[in-house]
Structure 1
Amino acid sequence: MLDDDNGDVVGTAVREVEEEVGIYLNKDDLVNLTAFLNPSTGCKVFPSPGGSDEEISLLMYRGKVKKEVIEAMQGKEMGLREHGELIKVHIVPFDKVWRMTADSKVLCAIALYEMAKRDGLLHPPRSSPDLSQM
Structure 2
Amino acid sequence: GVVVQTGSGSRYYLAPKSAKKGGNDAKKKAAVKTAASAKPGMTISLFGMGKSDEETSSSASAKVSPAPKAAVSKKAPKGVPSIVDWKKNRNDSVSGFITGSPSFDEGERVTTSPIVEGSIIAGETVQTGSGSRYFLV
TM-score, length basis structure 1: 0.19
Which structure ranks higher in relative contact order (CA pairs < 8 Å, sequence separation ≥ 6)?
A: 1
Could you say which structure has the higher strand fraction?
2
TM-score, length basis structure 2: 0.19
